[in-house]
Amino acid sequence: MIAPGLGASYFAYLTFTFILVVTPGSTTAVVVRNTLEGGRRAGYVTAAGAALANCTIAIACGLGLAVLLAYWPGSVDAIRIGGAAFLAWLGLASLWRAWLQPDGGIRLSTDPGAAAARLHLGAYLGDGLAINLLSPVIISFYLSVVPSFIPAGASRFYYSMLAATHVSMAFFCHSMWATALDAMRRWFVAPWTRRVLQGATGVALIVLASRILL
């Protein structure tokens, strides 16, 4: 039960967080690509990896990551550059596969030789985990945005509730992307369509990396 005085603050947080999670970003791009490659289950596992990363960052910030950043301000730039470099690497890898392979390196279960595709779930979990652990956006969200929605006098569990709200909303949104793309996989039977998607994903990830750096 949320006290009446906290209701307006929580509603404002819900609105802001909803806009954040429904806006497609780097995590969405990876969920979409993995769903097309490995099906709905792969998309869900990728979304679960992203949720695990969000939980990790939320706990770290709650336990004092802000204190560490205060003592070492340069760590903010290190996180930003590392996250941008990881996104750029993913983007270049996608462009490379789109350039070299007729299907962009995205294998459907109906393709000949599909057994060679990357279908083990650990890889998809790792994708979701890494893309958010190195995300300056998520770290900044928990360091700067979430505390601004905690009113004076709120209990120490209020931060946990805000974090749980973001994690669950983001997981639900990414899962919906996975569900939708799995239903549309028949649209990507032709190899060239997957090649275009892989190329578009690569461009989007590189643009996101550039925005983070600049």
Query: pLDDT tens digit string along 150-168?
Result: 887 777 788 889 999 999 9
Q: What does each C-alpha distance from 149 to 1, 64, 159, 184 come to in angstroms?
A: 17, 18, 9, 38
Which run of H or of E encompasses 189? none
Is the pLDDT at 86 greater than 90? The verdict is no
How far is Cα 194 from Cα 128, in angstroms, rounded to an integer? 20
Top mean-pLDDT range of 12-16, 50-54, 70-74, 177-181: 50-54
Choice between 114 and 33, residue whose per-residue pLDDT is larger: 33
Among candidate residues 82, 86, 84, the one with its CA nearest the CA of residue 74: 82
pLDDT of residue 116: 42
pLDDT of residue 163: 93
Q: Residue 8: which residues within 8 A CB-CB, separation 6 or more?
A: none
Q: What is the DSSP code (8-state) at residue 152?
A: T
How far is Cα 137 from Cα 196, in angstroms, rounded to an integer? 27
In the chain, pLDDT over 70 holds for what percent of residues?
Answer: 78
Q: What are the residue boundaries of the structural domains of the chain, listed by start?
A: 4-12+26-213
